[in-house]
Amino acid sequence: RYYSSNNSQSNARSQALGILTQTGLIKEQIAKLESQLERTPDSMTLYEQLIELCEVAALKDKALDYTKKASELRPKSGGWHF
């Protein structure tokens, strides 16, 4: 049961990202998150969301920049090592 709920959330997230991409709203969402990040610069959640959206929007350099910044912010967090 837990697996199927988690899988449903993953499918819904993928669909939402697809819709943002198809409608061209993904870059607008990135801009909103960047604005939020200016106000809360140590929010790992915002970094994670920005990395994901930038990857989906094929902004690989920007995604890498956010990954590096997140790594500097939380150098001992799992998954952020280079």
pLDDT for 5-21, tens place per residue? 567 778 888 888 888 88
Using the predicted structure, report yes or no on whether residue 1 has a pLDDT greater than 60.
Answer: no
Query: The tokens of 44 are what?
Result: 């790992």
Which pLDDT tens digit goes with each residue over 23-72? 889 999 999 999 999 999 999 999 999 999 999 999 999 999 999 999 98
pTM: 0.76
Task: Please name the residues in contact with 12: beta carbons below 8 A apart, sequence gap of 6 or more.
Answer: none
Alpha helices in 1-82 (DSSP H): 2-23, 26-39, 44-56, 60-73
